[in-house]
A and B are shown apart, each in its own frame.
Chain A
Amino acid sequence: MSNEVDWHYALTRYVRGMPHTYEAGMNVVSAGPSGVEMRLPWKADFLGDVSRQLIHGGVITMVLDTACTGTVLCGLGDPPEICPTLDLRVDHFRPAVAGQALLVRARITEITASVVFVEGELWQENDQKRVARATGSFARLPAEATPANFGRLLCGRPGAGTQGVKHA
């Protein structure tokens, strides 16, 4: 059944359903069980240092967090599980500069019975050098912790149990 899930569609609903990523303008480039790629177009609101024209480190963390949680949803298959983030660590290799989109890629490194381990990488559109890298871990909870309608909310086509998810 999991090969029927359109993960690009599901994760697009996911990032548009979250008010912060919806407002930020985040979108999904590709998504599947082997990983996700997302893109955040440039906005002046993302600056963390006007004097040096650098993007806020918190924007980088927010983008990596979104991609890492997204890849957990895709990677655990159908039905998806809600896995709370335990922790996230971000290493900053070089500053992210104003005026360019941020691109992020995330994938699962290990799935155990109780934890999902994830890593993410971030770079900018006009430069292939990595700006930052993240590692995170997510808790797997008993099946009843994920609401019965979550899979439908996330993956469903419009009209099929989509209440509560905001459309763009």
Chain B
Amino acid sequence: MPDTSVDLCWLEQSRDRGDPALVLENMPYARALGLEVNEDERGRLFVLPPRRTNLGNPLLPAIHGGVMAAFMESAAIIDLMLSLGSPRMPAIINFSIDYLRAGRLEPVYARCELVREGRRLANVRVCAWQKDEQHPVATARMHIMLAALDGMSSTSADRSA
């Protein structure tokens, strides 16, 4: 089992400030893919910039299906961490992706929808597109378990005191 006596104050800070930097710092694979968190008039917008190292088929070229999935899953987790009413640590229960079009070597955009936020469970939908938001390259959905920070960190009791 993972060590649960870890300091998670970065999560509360990131959420309170609405700043994804600390969340991204904790997520090296998302940084390795080049994931960026932006805002537009409709809300939080995730971007996967075109990078050769994210390709699967180099001849087409097409983004690796697993990279597309990892980008969308990262977006969902980051969006959830920043949106939750009270800060909690997410753990993925399941993830399902539909591949609708090949991902070209161009930026991919993704937007997340928190379909349900319960006490212990969340459901998130993610839509990813390239040229046109109305023509997604992939859609995904996931169930996520939410653990209260108090139950996870031996230091949180001291902090909340």
Contacts and interface: CB of A to CB of B under 8 A. Distances in A.
Contacts of B54: 19-20
A51 interface: yes
Nearest to B101: A84
A90 B94 CA distance: 6
B118 interface: no
A63 B66 contact: yes
A48 B73 CA distance: 11
Given A84-B102, A87-B99, A91-B93, A46 B29 contact: yes
Interface size class for chain A? 35 or more
A89 B95 contact: yes
A129 B67 CA distance: 25
Contact of B65 (A19, A23, A59, A69): A69
A69 to B, nearest CB: 7
Interface residues of B, number: 44
Contacts of B99: 84-88
B80 interface: no
Contacts of A59: 29, 70
Nearest to A56: B29
Interface stretch (B6-14, B38-46, B109-117): B6-14
B93 to A, nearest CB: 6
Interface of A: 17-21, 23, 44-54, 56-59, 61-66, 69, 84-92, 95, 97, 164, 166
14 contacts: A19-B56, A20-B54, A20-B67, A46-B28, A49-B26, A49-B27, A50-B27, A51-B7, A53-B3, A62-B66, A65-B64, A87-B98, A90-B95, A92-B91
Please give me the 5 A-B residue pairs with the lowest Cβ-Cβ distance, nearest first: A58-B70, A62-B66, A56-B29, A65-B66, A89-B96
